[in-house]
Amino acid sequence: MTASSIDERTEQLSSAIRQAVNSSIPEWEHIKKWITEATLEKIQQKRQLKLAKENSATAGAKYKRKCNVVKAAIRQDKNEWLDKQMDTNGHWSHGS
């Protein structure tokens, strides 16, 4: 076998594996249903800052501030979600 045929075969196998994974594993869906879309966007921004902090000293400080913002947003989302789960008598409602 030549090097080019090995490379082609490796690429074919890699492509087949990627297709199998994409067809059998569902896309990621957040499990914590109380987290709002706005908070998910903040989480994504935090992830981008985490990657950028390696290249910049100021990005590290921004990352720390964003972590605090995300934590506060998650706490607020959860508290609001829990409040909605309670009915007017202070009992847990059975619906979502």
The model's pLDDT over 47-65, given as tens digits with 9 standing for 90+, comes to 999 888 888 878 888 999 9
Q: Which domain holds residue 60?
A: 36-96
Residue 96 lies in a domain: yes
Quick: pLDDT tens for 11-41.
999 899 888 887 887 666 667 888 999 999 9
**Total structural domains within the chain:** 1
Residue 67 lies in a domain: yes
CA distance 77 to 71: 10
Q: How confident is the model at residue 44 (pLDDT cuts 50, 70, 90)?
A: very high
Beta bridge partners of 92: 86
Residue 64 lies in a domain: yes
Q: What is the pLDDT of residue 29?
A: 67
pTM summary value: 0.59
Residue 16 lies in a domain: no
Residue 28 lies in a domain: no
Residue 30 lies in a domain: no
Q: How confident is the model at residue 74 (pLDDT cuts 50, 70, 90)?
A: very high
Q: Which amino acid is at 56?
A: S
**Residue 87 token pair:** 């009915």
